[in-house]
Structure 1
Amino acid sequence: MEIKKISKEKTWNLRHTVMWPNKELDYIKLDQDDSGIHYGLFEKGRLISVVSLFIENEDAQFRKFATLQSEQGKGFGSKLLNHVVEEAKRVGIKRIWCNARLNKSSFYKKFGLQESEHKFQKGGLDYVIMERLLDV
């Protein structure tokens, strides 16, 4: 297993396949992709999981976190998310957060993220903003 920084373009197909397969590819592209740090987890050279980190001052948001459905539940996503949290700490980030699909919030709680009171809908799905203060 290897985790490394990748180009935004390398995230797009996996994002699309996992998150919004019924939408056009452009739906998963972010206007902010150019300013993000994109990470990929590879197993035997195959891209398994991706996440993008967007830093603003001492806050960082991770977005478009996706793991191939056939590889979910095997710990790959957890390893990638732990790596991103450690990278955020390393560069002095004090708060990390995400827009979590409500049905996935229990996954993020395992990483110390807590649900805020901010909930919303997008694309017919329910979301909650989850955050964690980091010890730096």
Structure 2
Amino acid sequence: METLIQIEQIFPSLTWRIRHEAMYPDMPFDSVKLKDDFEGTHFGLYADHKLTGVVSLFSQGDVYQFRKLAVLPNEQKAGYGTKLMEYILDFCKIQKAAVIWCNARVNAKEFYFKFDFIETEDTFFKDGYDFVVMEKELKY
């Protein structure tokens, strides 16, 4: 039977458990909370009614940044990250965003290439990971 997938806007605190399990399981739980979480728009992917993936979106004018795209470890490689990306790209187009960008883990940049993101020259190291800023211009 096919998995029922639903994506909807969620309260910021619902993102924290999945961020922690998927991204930083060895760090303190509070490390996954963003100081501006309550200023963002957060989306949850439900697989058969179970919260399985999350992403958070922040805007400054027509420039949008997504942060903490995370899928539960035992549910990765099932296409849920792709579904979340497609959803926020559509959301940004509806909002008339000009650019969407993220701080991508270097080991995950191939994922973002699938959505036509480009690498910038901005790189940094944080929490044990190498990151690169990736961005995409949205055209209508």
Question: For the superposition of Structure 1 and Structure 2, which TM-score range results when normalised by the shorter chain?
Answer: over 0.9
**1:1-136 equivalence runs, <5 A:** 1-136=5-140
**Uncovered stretches (5+) of structure 2, i.e. residues with no partner:** none
CA RMSD of aligned residues (A): 0.6
1:35 deviates by: 0.5
**Uncovered stretches (5+) of structure 1, i.e. residues with no partner:** none
1:135 deviates by: 1.0
Query: Over residues 31-50 of structure 1, what are the superposed CA-to-partner deviations in whole Å (9 max), with x where a residue is unaligned?
Result: 11011000000011101110
What amino acid is aligned across from residue 73 of structure 2 in structure 1?
Q
For residue 25 of structure 2, give the secondary structure of its aligned residue in structure 1: coil
1:80 deviates by: 0.9
Q: How many residues align?
A: 136
% identity of equivalent residues: 41
What amino acid is aligned across from residue 76 of structure 1 in structure 2?
Y
Query: Over residues 27-80 of structure 1, what are the superposed CA-to-partner deviations in whole Å (9 max), with x where a residue is unaligned?
Result: 000011011000000011101110000011010000010011111111111011
